[in-house]
Structure 1
Amino acid sequence: MSLSGLAKFVVGFLAGIVLLLLGSAAAGLFLFSTLSATPPRPVFPEEKQQKKVTNINTKTSTVAATNSKLVSSTQVSPSPSQETQLEPGAYKARVKWESGLSMRSEANFESSKVGGVAYNQEVVVLQDSDDKQWQKVRVVETNEEGWVKAGNLEQADTPQ
């Protein structure tokens, strides 16, 4: 075996090893990226039933809204003064906490949640707790009542 034959053998052997390593690395990266991707979220039968119920409720509310428009066009709408009458000491306010607020059944953190109020949603403040740390509110749209932490509302002087 000559010196040139030995050089060809060494270069060929090293080229083969490099190609084998590069191919293995490429296959490993492909498998890793394929297996590390999160699978699609499964849809359970309970969720399918809720979607069907939601669609039925949407159709029902559309029909009800159409019917209420027909009825309201024939009836006299209440005057603004009737709609804005509040209990003595109550006032309208808006939620200024960007994440919204949790309404609780009692004026403490240990009590159960009874609902929530979204950011910039209008509420009626009914009363303050004795320690002035909590406020009892009623959501204007749903008439839900509950306690929220004080300092997260701003008085609504003008309608927005």
Structure 2
Amino acid sequence: MLSGFTKFILGFFLAIAVLVGGGVAIALYFMNRTGISPAKPVFSNDSPSVKAQAPKATKPGEGKSTLPSGTQAESSPTSTSTPTESPKATPSPKPLPPGAYRGRVSWAEGLSLRSQPNQESEKIGGVGFNQKIIILQESDDKSWQKIRLEGSEQEGWVKAGNTEKVDQQ
């Protein structure tokens, strides 16, 4: 009789241990899955050619490249085996239309670019956080701004208050 009762108690604690262990494993799995950042959204107006360009060197010594071994070498036409393209002159920015000014997106999630100044109008693209824009005009009720993406001809409307004026140096 004692042996049957002992088996029952042992089986009961074993079942509880399996349930608790499974619950902990599932909880850890979901906690790890929610800790992974989602992929960055890609808007239809993203230009891969702009992202592929290397930043320009502005200080002496920034034109050097770091080799995998940690040593630095001057970049020169003789040290590369592939021909390099000569730098092109950057076109001077077009003059701004009257009343327009330069700005940037200050809303951290970016903005939807719309065809008309209302919430129900068609989305025609997106503008990322800190992206440079040109504010062309404001709607009559001052709740929408018509913008042009800097370096692009794409124009559209965004909600006012999500951009800020940038002083041009």
Relative to the length of structure 1, the TM-score reads 0.61
Please tell me whether residue 116 in structure 1 is matched to residue 131 in structure 2: no
Structure 2 length as normaliser, TM-score? 0.58
Determine which of 131, 135, 138 is the counterpart of 1:128. Answer: 138
Give the match for residue 70 of structure 1.
85
- Could you say what secondary structure the match of 1:97 adopts? coil
- Which residue of the partner structure matches residue 16 of structure 1? 7
Q: 1:18 aligns to what SS in structure 2?
A: helix
Residue 84 of structure 1 deviates from its aligned partner by: 5.0
Q: Which amino acid aligns with 1:70?
A: E
Q: What's the counterpart of residue 103 of structure 2?
A: 93
Unmatched runs of 5 consecutive residues or more in structure 1: 1-8, 39-57
- Give the equivalent residue in structure 2 for 1:143: 153
Match of 2:117 among 90, 107, 112: 107
Deviation at 1:138, TM superposition (A): 0.7
Structure 1 residues 25 and 84 mapped into 2: Cα distance closer, same or farther (>3 Å)? same
- Paired residues of 2:102 and 2:168 also in contact (CA < 8 A): no
The one-letter amino acid paired with 1:126 is: L
- Between the two proteins, the alignment pairs up a number of residues equal to 121
Q: Percent identity?
A: 39
Letter of the 2:85 counterpart: L
Q: Which amino acid aligns with 2:104?
A: R
Which of the two has higher C-alpha Rg?
A: 1
Per the TM alignment, residue 101 of structure 1 is displaced from its structure 2 partner at its CA by 1.1
- CA 157–111 in structure 1, closer or farther in 2 if over 3 Å, else same: same
Q: Which runs of 5+ in 2 are unaligned?
A: 31-47, 55-83
Aligned equivalents of 1:158 and 1:14: distance in 2? 85
Q: CA RMSD in A?
A: 3.2
Displacement after TM superposition at 1:141 (Å): 3.7
Give the corresponding residue for 2:74: none
Work out the CA distance in 1 between the residues paired with 2:20 and 2:158.
52
How big is the shift at 1:113?
Answer: 0.7
Matched position secondary structure for 1:83: coil
Question: Retained in 1: the 8 A contact 2:148–2:155?
Answer: yes
Q: 1:95 to 1:76 in 2, by over 3 A?
A: closer
Mean CA deviation greater in 24-33 or 88-97:
24-33
Shift of 1:34: 6.9
